[in-house]
């Protein structure tokens, strides 16, 4: 008979991260550029106290374990307090991307059955518009002080964040419960059909925080000043609000000011050492420092993911600015970190260029994530850096199922990522293609099917395919490839104008090209891979 270990059973809990940060790094700062326009300074100790008060307020508003609490907010200290107050009190924090099409935001709120919605000041108009379509919603809390509450609004259930906190005494003990309890939900529109919710547990979140802070991951330390550019509604800002508490580092929250000049100013002012975001953001920052001959005085590491890091960006940061680039790959369904690219001991004496060639890849699996590449029959492919296959993963922080969806997304117990990759003998994974039919522009998804459905409703269109075309700023932008109905006359401009009002403006395709026929696979499906190859060099007029 096996001998059982004799260690304490302490559930992994999100509140324990905050308690640790408050106790051991209580005076370490959290600095936020607020939507109100000013800078705000608080500390881990203060965030913990106010999170307790907010947890009390949520109880007073009638929240019960398992209830979902939504946020439509940028990166800031109040959003951080909501993260901890909600998850820590056994509720489920549901972050929502305000940039989605309003109907999609409403669909997501209704699917999650959010009871309370926390909203940043400049997102209130969106919520006012959607409120009549949100039957389960009981209260909207505006994330501001009394002075900033609007005199006129259309909501009859609008509360003030600071008033809620002021009304509480903070005499609240974080409850203990099963570590597999849901902590947060994030919806992804990176697959076809309606957005799907990934439900993270306390256990998966804490394990992800441990792994993501490791030296070969983000290498986050108490001495760091971390600026998460990645929004808190994008897979919990890649777990930074948790890993930052775990190590007790200083956090700098940029609000909605993500342009190059604003980021540079904030980084210099707060002496940021490490940051994380998508390539489009970094391009904006690099353009600004290059155009103005600026240097970074403290910035040492940038974590780049969400889309492939362009090789030229890696070299510009490293060779011209002495900023280490850490390329990472992940997904909403992976909390998000899957692989991170760092060199091994055996690479120590490689010439710079050879080392950077490796660093262009998406990287090695972080402990806790297991990966494989398989062919169409599901057979594992060799790790030789040449054979490619569908990338599948499993692990402690990989989803097992989606919220409210019965059908399992798994294939033989593995989660199929929709990415096509090679893995070399040293375990470095490189994404070479995508089998899922979506377009990722500046880190945000655009559904090909939605674009195709719009054009298919045009009387002159027989067939329409949306594919990703390369764009220097946004990485990918939608290109429509269209077959006209026989004899029909329609122009590129007319088709582009046809999208107006049917999808968010930023999703409108950049170009339309007309062809006589579209390529199809043997099974009669549209052959998107072939189409992407045909237009691999297509120059977008917007590029």
Binding site for ligand AMP (CB under 6 A): 188, 190, 235, 305-308, 327-332, 336, 362, 417-419, 431, 434, 440
CB atoms within 10 A of CB 501: 7
Tokens representing 107 are: 């669909």
Tell which residue, 69, 80, 65, 98, has the closest CA to residue 32: 80
Rounded to an integer, what distance in angstroms lies between the CA atom of residue 145 and that of residue 294?
37
Least spacing, CB of residue 445 vs ligand AMP, in Å: 6
The catalytically annotated residue of 53, 361, 440, 484 is 440
Residues with Cβ < 8 Å from 403, sequence gap 6 or more? 111, 112, 185, 196, 197, 198, 199
In this structure, are residues 485 and 461 in contact, taking their beta carbons and an 8 Å threshold? yes
Q: Residue 50 or residue 440: which is nearer to ligand AMP going by CB?
A: 440
User: Shortest approach of ligand AMP to residue 503 CB, angstroms?
Assistant: 18
- Using alpha carbons, select from 151, 123, 152, 111 the residue that is nearest to residue 140: 123
Tell me whether the omega of the peptide bond preceding residue 288 falls within 30 degrees of 0, making it cis. Answer: no
Closest contact distance (angstroms) between CB of 134 and ligand AMP is 24
Contacts of 287 (CB under 8 A, 6+ apart): 260
Length of the chain: 543
Catalytic residue check, 188: yes
Residue 332 CB, nearest approach to ligand AMP (Å) = 3
Q: Is the dihedral of CA 229, 419, 431, 465 positive or negative?
A: negative
Sheet holding 92-95, edge to edge: 158-160, 139-142, 116-119, 68-72, 92-95, 182-188, 196-201
Catalytic hit among 29, 333, 360, 450: 333
CB of 329 to ligand AMP, least distance (A): 4
- Tell me which of 28, 95, 181, 188 is the catalytic residue: 188
By C-beta, is 76 or 305 nearer to ligand AMP?
305
Nearest 10 degrees: CA dihedral of 90, 217, 254, 49?
Answer: 40
Q: Which residues contact 5 (CB under 8 A, 6 or more apart)?
A: none
Contact 417, 190 (CB under 8 A): no
Q: Give the residue at shortest CB distance from ligand AMP.
A: 332
- Active-site position among 174, 282, 414, 445: 445
Nearer to ligand AMP, 15 or 205 (CB): 205
- Nearer Cβ to ligand AMP (198/209): 198
Task: Give the separation between CA 180 and CA 203, rounded to whole angstroms.
Answer: 6
Shorter beta-carbon distance to ligand AMP: residue 91 or 183: 183
In three state form, how does the secondary structure of 167-200 look? CCCCCCCCCCCCCCCEEEEEEECCCCCCCEEEEE
Concerning whether 344 is annotated as a catalytic residue, the answer is no
Q: Which is nearer to ligand AMP, 22 or 328 (CB)?
A: 328
Q: Which is nearer to ligand AMP, 336 or 395 (CB)?
A: 336
Residue 238 bears catalytic tag: no
What is the nearest approach in angstroms of ligand AMP to the Cβ of residue 495? Answer: 27
What's the rounded Cα separation, in Å, for the pair 82 and 233?
A: 12
Of 275 and 332, which has the nearer Cβ to ligand AMP? 332
**Nearest distance in Å: CB 342, ligand AMP:** 14
Minimum distance of ligand AMP from residue 379's CB (angstroms):
22
Q: Are 434 and 489 in contact (CB under 8 A)?
A: no
Active site residue 440: yes
Q: What are phi and psi of 501, to 5 degrees?
A: 85, -10
CB of 307 to ligand AMP, least distance (A): 5
CB closer to ligand AMP out of 140 and 421: 421
CA 116 to chain centroid? 22
Measured CA to CA, the distance from residue 487 to residue 495 in angstroms comes to 16
Residues with catalytic annotation?
Answer: 188, 333, 440, 445
């Amino acid at each position: 008979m096996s001998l059982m270990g004799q260690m304490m059973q302490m559930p992994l809990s999100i509140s324990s991260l905050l308690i640790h940060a408050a106790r051991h790094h209580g005076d370490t700062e959290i600095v936020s550029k607020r939507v109100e326009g000013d800078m705000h300074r608080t500390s881990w100790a203060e965030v913990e106290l106010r999170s307790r008060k907010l947890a009390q307020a949520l109880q007073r508003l009638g929240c019960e374990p398992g209830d979902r609490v939504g946020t439509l907010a940028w990166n800031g200290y109040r959003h951080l307090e909501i993260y901890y107050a909600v998850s820590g009190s056994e509720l489920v924090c549901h972050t929502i991307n305000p940039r989605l099409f309003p109907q999609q935001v409403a669909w997501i709120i209704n699917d999650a059955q959010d009871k309370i919605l926390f909203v940043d000041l400049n997102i209130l108009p969106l919520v006012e518009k959607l409120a009549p379509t949100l039957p389960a919603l009981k209260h909207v809390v505006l994330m501001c002080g009394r002075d900033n509450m609007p005199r006129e609004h259309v909501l009859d259930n609008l509360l003030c964040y600071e008033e809620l906190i002021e009304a509480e005494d903070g005499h609240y003990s974080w409850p203990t419960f099963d570590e597999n309890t849901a902590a947060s939900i994030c919806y992804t529109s990176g697959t076809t059909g309606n957005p799907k919710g990934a439900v993270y547990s306390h256990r998966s979140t804490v394990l992800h925080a441990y792994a993501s802070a490791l030296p070969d991951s983000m290498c986050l330390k108490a001495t760091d000043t971390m600026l998460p550019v990645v929004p808190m509604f994008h897979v919990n800002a890649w777990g930074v609000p948790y890993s930052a508490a775990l190590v007790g580092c200083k956090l700098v929250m940029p609000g909605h000011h993500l342009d190059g000049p604003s980021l540079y100013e904030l980084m210099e002012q707060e002496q940021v050492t490490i940051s994380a975001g998508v390539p489009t953001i970094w391009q904006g920052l690099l353009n600004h420092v290059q155009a103005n001959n600026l240097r970074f005085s403290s910035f040492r590491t940038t974590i780049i993911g969400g889309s492939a890091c362009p090789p030229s960006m890696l070299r510009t940061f490293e060779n011209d600015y002495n900023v280490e680039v850490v390329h990472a790959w992940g997904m909403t369904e992976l909390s998000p970190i899957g692989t991170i690219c760092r060199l091994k001991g055996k690479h120590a004496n490689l010439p710079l260029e050879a080392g950077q060639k490796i660093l262009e890849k998406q990287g090695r699996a972080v402990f806790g994530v297991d990966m494989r590449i398989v062919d169409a029959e599901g057979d594992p492919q060799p790790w030789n850096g040449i054979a490619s296959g569908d990338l599948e993963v499993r692990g402690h922080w990989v989803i097992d199922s989606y919220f409210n969806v019965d059908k399992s997304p798994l294939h033989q117990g593995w989660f199929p990522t929709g990415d096509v990759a090679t893995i070399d003998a040293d375990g470095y994974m490189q994404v070479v293609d995508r089998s899922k039919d979506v377009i990722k522009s500046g880190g945000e998804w655009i559904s090909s099917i939605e674009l195709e459905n719009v054009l298919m409703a045009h009387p002159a269109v027989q067939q329409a395919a949306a594919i990703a075309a390369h764009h220097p700023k946004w990485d990918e932008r939608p290109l429509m490839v269209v077959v006209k109905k026989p004899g029909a006359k329609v122009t590129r401009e007319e088709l582009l104008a046809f999208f107006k009002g049917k999808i968010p403006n930023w999703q409108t395709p950049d170009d339309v090209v007309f062809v006589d026929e579209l390529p199809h696979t043997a099974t009669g499906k549209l052959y998107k891979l072939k189409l992407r190859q045909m237009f691999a060099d297509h120059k977008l007029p917007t590029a």
